[in-house]
Structure 1
Amino acid sequence: MMTLPYAEPYKIKMTEAIRTSTREEREAWIREARYNLFKLRSDQVTIDLLTDSGTGSMSDRQWAAMMTGDESYAGASSYFRLKTTVAELFGMPWFLPTHQGRAAENVIFSALLKEGDIVPGNSHFDTTKGHIEFRRCHAVDCTIDAAADTQLELPFKGEMDLAKLEKVLAENPREKIPCVVLTVTNNTAGGQPVSMRNIRETAELCRRYGVPLLMDSARFAENAYFIKTREEGYASKTIKEIVREMYDWADIMTISAKKDGVVNMGGFVAMRSEELYKKAMSFSIMFEGYVTYGGMSGRDMDALAVGLDENTEFGQLDTRIRQVRLLGDLLDQYGVPYQRPAGGHAIFVDAKKVLPNLPKEQFIAQTLAVELYLEAGIRGVEIGSILADRDPETHENRYPALELLRLAIPRRVYTDNHIRVIAAACRNIFERRAEITTGYRITFEAPILRHFTVELDKIR
């Protein structure tokens, strides 16, 4: 008897037209955008892999929940429904909604950080590092060294290096370290997960030194999926059970709910300490809005409450991660190098290995990103030297060990045929990589988070 093939646990109810462009059009558009893919218009993009943040397709239950949204300024029932979901799922009793993840960081770091502080973590993502350095504090990377070897196969490649972390904790006064940030999954390292063992051991180390553990939680559900499928002792546990255990070790959490909450806009900060909540509350009111809506409408809070419930079920996560793995499997067939194993939300192509002769000063991953757009109208994002920004003290460009082109797959948006187009385009570039001999130089950059608005010129 034939084993039935895999099928997605949903059916498609609405479609959105995609415009296919010519190479000549794309050459003109990317030149007008000053070779910054963020500056492209969406209708100039065929397959958009810039981010999986806020770009997913919501479910029928989420759309229905939006109709029950309570838009009261204070005390909205939508707020209390989301508050209950957060408390049940994460075990965090104190909660402030925000309009997205960087807003949650702004609120909590305003309450926690002071100039000169040190914030260790496992590869702080761009906005996290931006908020830390904007406050003249120092983000110290304590990721395991293995994360820098893209071809090394490890089940939990995004983990905190406990020896590095303890060195930071031991060598600095307690009052200089307001928190430790643990990012799950580790986006900068390639969407790589963190094991429950590493979460527990990081938390125990933090408790020994009296430092709160803050979990950056944008892709918490994907991290729980990898714990279930890769870590001994968790195969029989539900995703919700694993999530609750993960957060039993955390003191604070921030989240961009636009990822694993599968909403177009939203986030929150939650914590165990009522004292910290009261301190953060003032910044929430100043920056976001009153405590029972923050930066979110009632309808968005209701959609998020449903999204958090739905996306902590195995079937939804399995479908999503299978599609990311399909892209990785196809790139394996074509010999295109990427951060292995395939991550939870994206494939991170190793730009240094694709373009080994391009000088780092010419922004290797950005060069590859532009080539992919020119090849097939596919928009990815550079996770490399442009995103790494300049050192806040020396003002020299930082050149990270990894130069990656992130291809982030939106949830429930593209079919497997789109994935095959992406893989074929990557193959075409890889086969003509010897022809790509020059990259780009910066002509304009903002003093912080420059990658969003940077302008470049092609080196002739």
Structure 2
Amino acid sequence: MVEEISQSTREQREIWLQEAHYNLFNLKSSQVFIDLLTDSGTGAMSDKQWGELMMGDESYAGSRSFEKLQKQVEKLTGFQFLLPVHQGRAAENVLFSTMIKENDIIPGNSHFDTTKGHIEFRKAHAVDCTIDEAFDIENLHPFKGNLDIQKLEKVYQSYPKKQIPFCLITITCNTSGGQPVSLENIKAVKNLSDQYGIPVIFDAARFAENAYFIKQREENYKNWSIKEICKEMFSYGIGMTMSSKKDGLVNIGGFIALNDEKIFRKASNFTIIYEGFITYGGMAGRDMAALAQGLDEATEFPYLESRISQVELLGNLLIEYGIPVQKPIGGHAVFLDALKFLPNIKREEFPAQTLALEIYKEAGIRGVEIGTILADRDPETRENRYPKLELVRLALPRRTYTDNHIRYIAAALKNVFDRSDEITKGYKITWESEILRHFTVKLEQA
């Protein structure tokens, strides 16, 4: 299917932004020409997925749709226990309710915003162990999502085992620019964690894209299929959380998959409390069936090559224009370096948010800030946390836009970049929530 999108004038967009308190999440979709806010649940399903919707089994317990999903997940991951949930943060809520307690330490590679939010909501602490190369946008390290083994071991040595319930590997690592984690690094994390008796869990929303980069960039796996690489990756963990709205190629849904029956039994209780019965957990049967098919399609090389090549097209066009982006280009999005793009905006006036708003004013393109607003305040000092990078993420929905749209986006960004010296004022917060403020924050011009 296709949907109509409408262009607007700059004057209209400036009024809409003011009405939205300069928060792009508050815009109506009808006010957006090209929507790159997220790649989560915004893609297009295939004919086979639509066919599965028609065959969904809506039985409350033990549906055929659940059986399809369970078999597909076990085939791809090797995890035998499955708990469907309505989306990725629900998977985090269930699993973290099971495994995390106050003052726990959760090391990982640049935890995603909702992940960190769920950890800090439980008065635990997320510790970033990403390699330093991830924070240098010009560094062409092929696996900028990797964990620094020395940083990780320092965490393991600094806290007792009972305070570290697991190590979390995010594949691909969204917050560092959609960057992949190598299989070599996954193995090293697993080996080190085994020495300290700490299990490994994957945040696997974009696991198929991660497997694609492993096939392309790790010599030992160039002749492996994507599905083989996926199974190998997951063999180094005890479980995973999944937002199926990314590499599941569906508009809603998620799951937890585990090989630890004790954790599964405990998590089952929280699934029933928060989500629904353990064989549907907040998903309709038809959506589970479409997800089972989507997981199969997303782990085929031709699809991944087409999808990631389109992201690379946008990134390479911007590089040609001299626009500062995270390199190499990530799997699901292009990330703009707002500090270099808008050097005249003070950190306390939120350069990344300012850039995202300027892009929308210019061309009706909606991206999202991955910077100070998203980083939230320190839960103890309540001071703003300033991340090493201030990024604007342009996330491409899967199987949605044409290359003509991509060229329009690039041209619009060049227009903003060419007048970036004229942009000297940012924004200030007038209202914010206690946690995950970026979704609902209200701003005004500084």
When normalised by structure 2's length, the TM-score is 1.00
Unaligned runs of 5+ in 2: none
Match of residue 99, structure 1, among 67, 86, 96: 86
In the alignment, is residue 202 of structure 1 matched against residue 216 of structure 2? Answer: no
1:313-352 aligned within 5 A: 313-352=300-339
User: Once the 2 structures are TM-superposed, how far is the Cα of residue 348 of structure 1 from its aligned partner?
Assistant: 0.2
1:348-407 Cα shifts (integer Å, max 9, x gaps):
000010011211000010000000000000000000000000000000000000100000
1:242 match: 229
C-alpha separation in 2, matches of 1:303 and 1:205:
38
Match of residue 9, structure 2, among 16, 19, 22: 22
Match of residue 140, structure 1, among 111, 127, 133: 127
Match of residue 380, structure 1, among 367, 374, 382: 367
The answer to whether the Cα contact below 8 Å between 2:214 and 2:221 also exists between their aligned partners in 1 is: yes
Secondary structure at the counterpart of residue 233 of structure 1? helix
Q: Aligned letter for 2:359?
A: L
C-alpha separation in 1, matches of 2:432 and 2:12:
26
Secondary structure at the counterpart of residue 139 of structure 1? strand
1:167 match: 154
The answer to whether the Cα contact below 8 Å between 2:298 and 2:304 also exists between their aligned partners in 1 is: yes
Q: What is the percent sequence identity of the aligned residues? A: 63
Q: Aligned letter for 1:331?
A: L
Match of residue 96, structure 2, among 109, 124, 127: 109
Secondary structure at the counterpart of residue 15 of structure 2? helix
Unaligned runs of 5+ in 1: 1-13
Q: CA RMSD in A?
A: 0.5
In the alignment, is residue 262 of structure 1 matched against residue 252 of structure 2? Answer: no
In the alignment, is residue 75 of structure 1 matched against residue 62 of structure 2? Answer: yes
Secondary structure at the counterpart of residue 253 of structure 1? strand
The answer to whether the Cα contact below 8 Å between 2:177 and 2:333 also exists between their aligned partners in 1 is: yes
1:443-458 aligned within 5 A: 443-458=430-445
C-alpha separation in 2, matches of 1:30 and 1:249:
46
1:158 match: 145
How many residue pairs were aligned?
A: 446
User: Once the 2 structures are TM-superposed, how far is the Cα of residue 232 of structure 1 from its aligned partner?
Assistant: 1.0
In the alignment, is residue 442 of structure 1 matched against residue 429 of structure 2? Answer: yes
Q: Aligned letter for 1:62?
A: Q
Q: Aligned letter for 1:164?
A: K
C-alpha separation in 2, matches of 1:152 and 1:277:
41
Match of residue 89, structure 1, among 63, 76, 79: 76
C-alpha separation in 2, matches of 1:419 and 1:151:
22
1:55 match: 42
1:11 match: none
The answer to whether the Cα contact below 8 Å between 2:178 and 2:332 also exists between their aligned partners in 1 is: yes
C-alpha separation in 2, matches of 1:256 and 1:320:
18
2:167 match: 180
C-alpha separation in 2, matches of 1:212 and 1:102:
20
C-alpha separation in 2, matches of 1:78 and 1:172:
43
The answer to whether the Cα contact below 8 Å between 2:344 and 2:423 also exists between their aligned partners in 1 is: no
C-alpha separation in 1, matches of 2:62 and 2:84:
13
The answer to whether the Cα contact below 8 Å between 2:325 and 2:337 also exists between their aligned partners in 1 is: yes
The answer to whether the Cα contact below 8 Å between 2:135 and 2:176 also exists between their aligned partners in 1 is: yes
1:137-166 Cα shifts (integer Å, max 9, x gaps):
000000001111011111111110110000
Q: Aligned letter for 1:201?
A: A
C-alpha separation in 2, matches of 1:300 and 1:286:
21
1:9 match: none
User: Once the 2 structures are TM-superposed, how far is the Cα of residue 416 of structure 1 from its aligned partner?
Assistant: 0.3
Secondary structure at the counterpart of residue 146 of structure 2? coil
Q: Aligned letter for 2:192?
A: L
Runs of 4+ that moved beyond 2 A: none
User: Once the 2 structures are TM-superposed, how far is the Cα of residue 186 of structure 1 from its aligned partner?
Assistant: 0.5
In the alignment, is residue 221 of structure 1 matched against residue 208 of structure 2? Answer: yes
1:5 match: none
Match of residue 180, structure 2, among 193, 198, 208: 193
1:38 match: 25
